[in-house]
Amino acid sequence: KKYIDESSERKRLYNEVIELKGNIRVFCRCRPLNQAEITNGSSSVVEFDSSQENELQIVSSDSSKKQFKFDFVFKPEDNQEAVFAQTKPIVTSVLDGYNVCIFAYGQTGTGKTFTMEGTPENRGVNYRTLEELFHISKDRTGVMRYELFVSMLEVYNEKIRDLLVENSNQPSKKLEIKHAAEGTQEVPGLTEARVYTTEEVWELLKSGAKARSVGSTNANELSSRSHCLLRVTVKGENLINGHKTKSHLWLVDLAGSERVGKIEVEGERLKESQFINKSLSALGDVISALASKSGHVPYRNSKLTHMLQSSLGGDCKTLMFVQISPNSGDLGETLCSLNFASRVRGIESGPARKQA
């Protein structure tokens, strides 16, 4: 009874409180101005409306304003708890057998990693999700039995790398996407760690994050140019009717969406930025094809979308965080990200509303 109540409450939350049809949501999160920006006397180009939780306005240098609407807008002062409170109904639906994908999209330095991974003091969506999954599965003891598995991988220049290999100093094996039964995709050889406790999860997430930087001279730079994917696999068994489910939750910290300057674009860097552009636009194309319910969904155009194919579309739930900077110097990139996210969601952005 408790389980049924709880699961219908989650459905209600998902379908009604977050008032939108369809399975694709876009949340926008704006980081605070940082110390350097404050010292430089930068001002914020982002305005929020205290009565509208889903709107923001961007003020350009000529004082013109452009309004954007999303499913939810987080202000600089909103903390990790506030973000997770909105995200929770989506991520926990993996326990009800849904496949779920969450992406953090935006320019480097806008808080993608902060939102997903967080810091030891301000843990992000990844850790909080696992914590909540353990919590709910404990609550359902006797009705449902769950097994949770975690994998972590990186996609860099269209190559897939396992981030949970035992000895991260060894050159990692090359991973490929294979088609499995029922139109699902698998990555044979990818480490899947069974997890039992939140502490274990925290250690795994830390070691995965560390493995991400191995082999690169500049860890920050590399992480901004690769996609980092955390996959949570949930195997569930209903102890009353014997019904079994297996579902995936993907938590993705995408490569920085910034366009690179003409001078820098040479050699290795050119190749990297071409791969990033290709995969981010492939992702945008897939999501907007799904949002517009168009027949053909171009999953095969990048490793990222190909791997996520069975977790995007159909009954799956998708959430994109579009991360932005309030700094006037980042205005161009901010508008690009907001336009991208609006296109993805199929929501038209418009001129500013008249001030009352």
Which residues of this chain interact with ligand ADP, rule CB under 6 A?
31-32, 106, 108-114, 224, 323
Q: Between 108 and 151, name the residue whose CB sits nearer to ligand ADP.
A: 108
Is residue 156 within 8 A of residue 226, CB to CB? The reply is yes
- Nearest residue to ligand ADP on Cβ basis: 111
* Minimum distance, C-beta of residue 333 to ligand ADP, in the bound complex (Å): 11
23 in helix, strand or coil? Answer: coil
Q: Between 111 and 313, name the residue whose CB sits nearer to ligand ADP.
A: 111
Q: Between 10 and 31, name the residue whose CB sits nearer to ligand ADP.
A: 31
Q: Between 119 and 141, name the residue whose CB sits nearer to ligand ADP.
A: 119
What does the chain come to in residues? 356
Q: Between 165 and 283, name the residue whose CB sits nearer to ligand ADP.
A: 283
* Residue 124, Ramachandran bin (φ over 0: left; ψ between -120 and 50: alpha; else beta): beta
Torsional sign, CA 119, 249, 207, 255: negative
In 10 A of CB 335, how many CB atoms? 17
* Minimum distance, C-beta of residue 244 to ligand ADP, in the bound complex (Å): 37
In 10 A of CB 240, how many CB atoms? 10
Q: Which residue has the tokens 């930087």?
A: 213
* Minimum distance, C-beta of residue 120 to ligand ADP, in the bound complex (Å): 11
Angle at 224 between CA 219 and CA 225, to 5 degrees: 100
Q: Between 106 and 208, name the residue whose CB sits nearer to ligand ADP.
A: 106
* Minimum distance, C-beta of residue 291 to ligand ADP, in the bound complex (Å): 24
Which of 259, 258, 256 is CA-nearest to residue 223? 256
* Minimum distance, C-beta of residue 31 to ligand ADP, in the bound complex (Å): 4
Query: Within a 13 Å sphere around the CA of 200, how many CA atoms are in the beta-carbon half?
Result: 11
Torsional sign, CA 189, 190, 191, 196: negative
How far is residue 212 from each of residues 24, 53, 224, 275, 280, measured CA to CA in Å? 29, 35, 11, 18, 20
